[in-house]
Amino acid sequence: MEYLPTLHGLIALGWSGWIEGIEPQGKTIVLRLDMDPPGDPEPTVEVLLEISEELAGDLQVDDKITFSGLITSIGVYSETYKLYITGASVQLVQ
């Protein structure tokens, strides 16, 4: 995981994760994603994905999505990396 800080400013392209939370923030929605499958006791990478309300559509907690967007911030909190991604596109995985 040492490589994660080097991703700042790059594009995440075709990544996938599971929605853990959906948080309205003004005119946008922030999806909180876990890159590990549901039930994994300790997430190692959590993604905060900023999208439009329209793009959020009918997405729900526990949905698996693929996404792309600009990595604008990276932090480490209690052994968990948190990446903030803006300008994202998302697609529900069936």
Q: For residue range 32-65, what is the model confidence (pLDDT) as tens digits?
A: 998 887 777 766 788 999 999 888 888 999 999 9
Which alpha helices (DSSP H) does 2-90 contain, by range?
Answer: 53-56
24-39 pLDDT per residue, tens: 998 899 999 988 877 7
* Beta bridge pairs of residue 47: 33, 83
Residue 36 or 5, more confident? 36
Give how far the C-alpha of residue 67 lies from the chain's centroid of Cα atoms, to the nearest Å: 8
Distance CA 45, CA 67 (A): 15
The pLDDT, as a whole number, for residue 64 is: 95
CATH of the domain at 51: 2.40.50.140
Count of domains observed in the chain: 1
Domain of residue 37, residue span: 4-92
Nearest CA-CA partner of 74 in 4, 21, 1, 2: 4
